[in-house]
Structure 1
Amino acid sequence: MSAFDVPDEVARAFRLELFQDHLALERGSADTTREAYARDVARFALFARTAGAAAPADATPRALREFVFHLKDLGLAPSSIRRTVSAVRTYYRFLVSEGHVAKDPSERLETPKRWRTLPEVLTVAEVERLLASPSVEEPLAFRDRAMLELAYGAGLRVSEWIGLRVQDLVFDDQLLRVFGKGSKERLVPIGRSAIGAAAVYLRELRPRLEKGQGKGILFLNARGEPLTRMGAWTILRKHVERAGIEKAVSPHTLRHSFATHLLEGGADLRAVQEMLGHADIATTQIYTHVDREFLRSVHRQYHPRP
């Protein structure tokens, strides 16, 4: 691992040392600012690599927006997210000035306070293709199917997804016990498909993966250890590509899709708030704007007097 707590190849590909030198020499940044910016950009580099970008030039504006949603999912304070956005902007300005990238994908990157729309949401048909992606011929197919079913079926944050314990599945009541931000517990109903996929995984595969290092965590990797955030990202990306979905999809995309599909189907806003674990219903209300924004875009595109 490099000094940036990312793999050496990621540090090299994303020119993290050069950026740190730039902060120290060109900008004369204070030690605390330099350390914070270097740490923020290293986190971005790891996220981008996990999401499929081999180098900074491969990161799209959409990927950067997903990164900021990812920071929100981690529970970072708005001030920390704003600082990270500033760090990423500084990073890309440096890369452009040095000729390492031709375009700056962070030019229109907004902070959370200014957001009015959601990141990409999958259609129901796209979700069905994604959930059908794991092939029974693959050794870890039962795990992958259960993971995707529960992540979408319960609208989980990625931290909740990988933190699920075996005992959190309440099969008799068709419920999932979820510990969200601040370790707040909530109970989320899950459907027959998610229950069935989880039951098959627990019966057919998890006992073979468990080698005494599972710590009661539901989803394990091939070595029998709890799945990491990067592991979850890698698995999701594999199945997104296999399903032929061209949208930028993150674990948070499944959570957004869960909420959007419920509300489009007529679900009560406060019920969705409870299932998502939002402390403030205003956070949930953003999902009610999805259809209106879509209609506005259609009107602008097709009406003769937009």
Structure 2
Amino acid sequence: MDMEVAVGKYLAYLQNERRYAENTISSYSRELNRYLLYSRDKNLSCCTDHRSFHTQEYLVQKHQTGLRASSLRQSASIIKSFFRYLCRENILSENPVSTLQLPKAKRPLPKILDVDTMNGLLQKDNVEDPLLKRDLALFELAYSSGLRLSELTKTNLSDLDLENGLLRVHGKGSKTRLVPVGKKAINAINSWIRVRKQFASAGETALFLSQRGKRIAPRTVQHRLQQFGIKQGLREHLHPHLLRHSFASHFLESSNNLRAVQECLGHQDISTTQIYTHLNFQALAQSYDTCHPRAKK
């Protein structure tokens, strides 16, 4: 089978059968199209033309451009997944990359803001500006419930159950989950909803709107949050995932319930959530070094 046709079938499979998120499919598509360009350059137009050393050479070329090990690992993982699919569909009888080793990547600990910084950042009284009310509701909800950026912007009015402090979240892979919403976030959301009608276009269902009355774009949220941090004098680059990381770390530190944190974050594998246990141990060690009389040098 022609490689270009095979890639098209694989992407359709991810979208229609595996129900992968749009951003994930875009990432797979970009990587596989780059691999197609390499294949054409090497006259590897047919799926059966490929061997393990071809993929190794492709990854070496990417490495020579200065790509990090984590990015190379992601590239290799996508290509391996693609060829596994071809074998399952009997398009190939043997997997040419079955022995390909993924580059090892040291996973850095996520950065977080401490509780006092978060409280100071979000504490705003007597806010009159409607857009600032929207922004505060966005930021409070992101921190209160640990939402991803895409989950924030996909939230509809109908997803809210503020009376019971719950939110239905549209997560990765078209999966939904219920998460709790804190009192501060509920107050901020109610404050925004009271002025939302000033912006809303007819029939618009999104909770968070742009000035044009349509669903707010992820880029707008990123920009507004970054500018909000700068105005507050925050040295740390403020972005939505920083609020999510802070939520996870603070929740885990207070509850010591890793499974509950996993459920709130929507992680399929608990090993993804376990990185926050390392983060909390790091904070514990620093506290020990600072406070314990026998730890001081």
TM-score by length of 1: 0.60
- Superposition deviation, residue 33 in structure 1: 5.3
Unmatched 5+ residue regions in structure 1? 1-28, 35-63, 72-76, 84-110
The letter for the 1-side match of 2:74 is: S
The Cα of 1:212 is off from its aligned counterpart by 2.5
Give the 3-state SS of the residue equivalent to 2:212 in structure 1.
coil
Amino acid at match of 2:147: L
Question: Which segments of structure 1 move beyond 3 Å, counting only runs of 4 or more?
Answer: 80-83, 294-305
Q: Is the 8 A contact 2:167 2:178 kept in 1?
A: yes
Query: Which residue of 1 is the match for residue 177 of structure 2?
Result: 186
Structure 2 CA distance for partners of 1:297 and 1:128, relative to 1, 3 Å = closer
Distance 2:126 2:224 in 1: 13
Q: Which residue of 2 aligns with 1:274?
A: 263
1:121 corresponding residue in structure 2: 112
Matches within 5 A, 1:41-80: 79-80=74-75
The equivalent residue for 1:145 is: 136
CA deviation after TM superposition for structure 1 residue 249, in Å: 2.3
Q: Structure 1's 30 and 276: CA in aligned 2 closer, same or farther, altered over 3 A?
A: closer
3-state SS in 2 of match to 1:121: coil
Q: 2:112, 2:242 within 8 Å by CA — same for their partners in 1?
A: yes
> Aligned partner of 1:32: which letter?
L
- SS of the residue corresponding to residue 277 of structure 2 reads helix
Deviations 1:248-297 (A, max 9, x none): 22210100000000111124111111111011111111101112223456
Secondary structure class of the residue paired with 2:250: helix
**Per the alignment, in what secondary structure is the counterpart of residue 255 of structure 2?**
coil
Once the two structures are TM-superposed, the CA of residue 140 in structure 1 deviates from its matched residue by: 0.9
Q: How many residues align?
A: 210
Write the distance in 1 (CA, Å) between the matches of 2:124 and 2:73: 36
Tell whether 2:196 aligns with 1:206: yes
Gaps of 5+ in 2: 1-33, 40-66, 79-101
1:261 aligns with 2:250: yes
Task: Check if 1:171 corresponds to 2:162.
Answer: yes
Question: What are the residue-to-residue correspondences of 1:85-104 with 2, within 5 Å?
Answer: none
1:290 aligns with 2:279: yes
Per-residue deviation, 1:234:
0.9
Deviation at residue 197 of structure 1 after TM alignment: 1.1
| Higher Rg of the two aligned structures | 2
Structure 1 residues 223 and 116, CA, compared in 2 at 3 Å: closer, same or farther?
same
Moved more, 113-122 or 159-168: 113-122
Deviations 1:139-173 (A, max 9, x none): 31211111011011010000001111111111122
Correspondence for 2:8? none
Instruction: Report if aligned partners of 2:151, 2:170 keep a CA contact under 8 Å in 1.
Output: yes
